[in-house]
Amino acid sequence: MSTPELDVVEFLLTAHLYTKHRDLDERDLPPQYRRVFWTDGEVERPLATTNSSAAAATGIDRPWDAVKGLMFTDRDDFSGTIDFTDEGMAEQWYLDRTSPERLMENPTLAYAFESEFDDVEYERARTSNRPIHADRVWIDGLLDEMFDEDDEEMLDLVEIRAPEEIEITLDNLVLTEDQEGEIDKVMKAIEHRDYLAEIGLREIGKLLFVGPPGTGKTSVARALAHQLELPFVEVKLSMITSQYLGETAKNVDKTFEVAKRLSPCILFMDEFDFVAKTRSSDEHAAIKRAVNTLLKSIDEVSLIQDEVLLIGATNHPNQLDAAAWRRFDEIVNFPKPDSSMRSDILRVVTRRMDIEGFDPHEVADATEGLTGSDLRLVLREAVLDALTEERTTLTQDDLLRAVEGFEERDNLKNMEDFDNWRGSPGSSSSDDEDGGHDHDDHDHSHDD
């Protein structure tokens, strides 16, 4: 069980032991401590255990107040440094209150106290600790090195997330068997990439996610980054036509350079159908050069050699040409969910909701053709409608009414023009029934 005083003593003890044992490095510090001590691309010894650094690392507002009653702690009022008066006493106090599970989350302490517990192994603790290249501070430091003020527009092209910033996890997603199988293969390829390189199998690790908007393509890619603790580099390919991005081919090159410098990482390229549209159109020559540069860069990047997992995504696979298809070694289909999958999605999304008489099968049957993203919108409306009645407990009827409301809004959104919507002279309701629609909701904003 964690307490404020235990958390602060653990922080102080970790800093002391890390400073003392020079064979330890940044990988031996828990990420929440490493972030506090990271300066100019490294963690410098000795680690300064001030009141402010302790607060930042532990999340405790007044660290000194938590430990000032202990016999072995002291504070320098001038510098704000919190220290031990007797490190041996501090270690024994901590060992009497900690657990093997807690020590296994802190490689520095696992290193120092491995012999004190049967279930503590330093090497295993270090291996399971999040690597430094997955930390936001490390990513920001690298970007500062790579970009100056003249390159600021480049950052409009890419969005880089640390794993710690990705809330979606694979456990929160409902996947098809094919999707699960491809993810398992990717994870095995990453785990055994040295073996794959040894046997000469290098053309692996380029996936194309195909499916309608709202079916989870971006969510799965991000969840995979969270699961594997890899930086996530996201590129929307249509951005290379932005008027703010002058040298488009150079920016494409820079994107792949960033991915290789951040490696191992995931490079996610959304709107990949833009490549085919550009190649078959009369776009400006500079844009076409950028697309050709992109295709060449895809050929040259490798999971095995560069430790970059490349994932493309498209809502319009029919627009891709052969040159685009052959860049990928695996195609992963993201269809609209069937009734069984919709039922599973509803169970996942409503796990923290209180719903009287909840029957996910009935709601699933009423939502034919909806995506996971759509289901999230339905549930959002049901919750908001209940809140207008000062209720935090929902009913099955709330959900079914929300489904009807969603369908009405969806029909309005997909009408051909505003005149038809308002019933202007000469229009007829049959003009609106074109039989199909394409949702604009971004799939990556929902846990579908």
Alpha carbon distance 181, 202 (integer Å): 20
The domain boundary, picked from 308, 333, 358, lies at 333
Q: What is the rounded distance in angstroms from the CA atom of residue 336 to the CA atom of residue 344?
A: 13
Same domain, 92 and 228: no
| 153 in the same domain as 276 | yes
Same domain, 298 and 163: yes
CA–CA dist 356, 346 (Å, integer): 14
291 and 158 share one domain: yes
* Those residues with Cβ within 8 angstroms of residue 174's Cβ, 6 or more apart along the chain or in another chain: 337, 341, 344, 345, 348, 372, 448
Based on the domain organization, do 236 and 312 belong to the same domain? yes
Distance in angstroms (rounded) separating the CA atoms of residues 356 and 396: 6
What is the C-alpha radius of gyration for the chain, rounded to an integer number of angstroms? 27
The Cα–Cα gap between 406 and 410 comes to 6
Domain that holds residue 282: 134-333
For residues 12 and 105, membership in a common domain is answered with: yes
Q: Count Cβ neighbours within 10 Å for each residue of 42-78 and write b for 16 or more, e otherwise.
A: ebeeebbbbbebbbbbbebeebbebbeebebbebeee
Q: Which of 333, 356, 385 is the last residue of a domain?
A: 333
Sort 390 into a burial class: Cβ within 10 Å, 0-12 / 13-18 / 19+.
exposed
| CA triple 53-59-64, angle to 5 deg | 60
- DSSP result, 100-169: HHHHTT-HHHHHHHGGG-TT--HHHHHHHSPPGGGSHHHHHHHHHHH--GGGGGGGGTEEEE-GGG----
Q: Up-side HSE of residue 117: CA atoms within 13 Å toward CB?
A: 20
Residue 272 shares a structural domain with residue 248: yes
Burial of 408 (0-12, 13-18, 19+ CB in 10 A): exposed
What is d(CA 111, CA 276) in angstroms, rounded to the nearest whole number?
A: 54
Mean pLDDT by 10 residues, the chain (448 residues): 93 97 95 92 92 95 95 93 96 96 97 95 94 90 79 74 92 93 92 88 88 94 94 83 59 86 93 70 66 86 92 90 86 95 95 95 95 94 96 96 87 52 38 35 40
Let me know whether 177 and 311 are in one domain.
yes
Integer CA distances (angstroms), 200 to 305, 309, 425, in order: 11, 17, 69
d(C-alpha 270, C-alpha 272), whole Å: 5
Both 272 and 189 in one domain: the answer is yes
> 392 and 359: one domain?
yes
d(CA 31, CA 29): 6
324 in the same domain as 191: yes
| Total tally of structural domains belonging to the chain | 3
Report the CATH number that the domain containing residue 441 is assigned in CATH.
Answer: 1.10.8.60
What is the rounded distance in angstroms from the CA atom of residue 110 to the CA atom of residue 120? 6
Domain C-terminal end among 273, 301, 333: 333
Task: Look at the chain and count its residues.
Answer: 448
Residues 362 and 387 in one domain: yes
pTM of the entire structure? 0.79
